[in-house]
Amino acid sequence: MIKEERLNIILNLLTKEQKVLLSELSGKLSVSEDTIRRDIKTLSERGLLKAVRGGAVPHSSVPRHYRAREHYDEASKDIIAMKALSFMENDQVILFDGGTSTLAVAAHIPRDLQITVITNSFPIANILEDHPTAEVIFAGGRLNKTAYTTMGVSTLNTFRTIRADICFFGICSIHPTLGVTTKNYEEAQLKRAMIDMSKRTIALATYEKINKADSYFICPVTDIDTIITNTSPDHADLAAFEQAGVHLL
């Protein structure tokens, strides 16, 4: 069997099973684990999977650019948003990152809810512009044209001066043992700071982001208080998160 055939088989198995192990692939393909390890490295370098100890897991398949994500799976994001509203109360200080799931939450904030929102997202700031009782603090910095957010030292410093009641942040990838990860190094640093400065951390994750991993580590799942998804909290794929002590909604 030539290398490209093995690579296609590995990707097909990964799509079907959501993870692959070196030992199992070695037996199925009748090659050494070292050969499989090199194959996985090749696929990782092509950006087609995330290599981990003993095997590989998928990358998140969600589009990266904001414009591509803006209207992507809106129904699922609305389900998440409606669940998120149960955590909001008057007089809270809430951090919102630049995800489209957090944008959906911002769009559903009741018109009479008196809160302060701190965000680095231009779309979130824009959607709350006419909200009659929400105060908005914008964390300025360098424009990330892919995500329509600010980044850099100025943005980090703003978040580090806040003591928030809640942090709502969108998930790129989350895995029970590999933690919360993302595709961008600076984004990982910002999300980490937001988590550190909040009493309660609530991750917003559509089902397709569950049990995935990307290159830049944000935090272990044990740093998250609640994961809100568009599926039932009793779903079998969420069991490992519940076992880790994370509340599921």
Domains identified in the chain and CATH numbers: 3-57 (1.10.10.10), 66-248 (3.40.50.1360)
What is the reported pLDDT for 172? Answer: 87
User: Is 151 in contact with 188 (CB distance < 8 Å)?
Assistant: no
Find the largest Cα–Cα distance for the chain.
65
Give the pLDDT of residue 7. 83
pTM exceeds cut of 0.85? no
More confident residue, 30 or 59: 30
Tell which wins on pLDDT, 64 or 95.
95
The closest alpha carbon to 133, from 106, 115, 109, belongs to 115
- Measured at the alpha carbon of residue 15, what is the angle toward residues 14 and 16, in degrees to the nearest 5? 90
Handedness of CA 9, 7, 177, 198 (dihedral sign): negative
By three-state DSSP, how is residue 205 classified?
coil
What distance in Å separates the CA atoms of residue 151 and residue 155, rounded to the nearest whole number?
A: 5
Lowest model confidence (mean pLDDT) among 71-80, 96-105, 138-147:
71-80
Is residue 183 over pLDDT 80?
yes
- Confidence at residue 164, expressed as pLDDT on a 0 to 100 scale: 97
CA distance 84 to 152: 28
What pLDDT does 69 receive?
55
How confident is the model at residue 122, as a pLDDT?
95
Q: Is the pLDDT of residue 53 over 90?
A: no
Beta strands in 37-176 (DSSP E): 50-52, 55-57, 93-96, 115-119, 134-138, 142-144, 149-151, 164-170, 173-175
Per DSSP bridges, beta strands 226-228 and 216-219 are unpaired
What are 50's two structure tokens? Answer: 């995330």
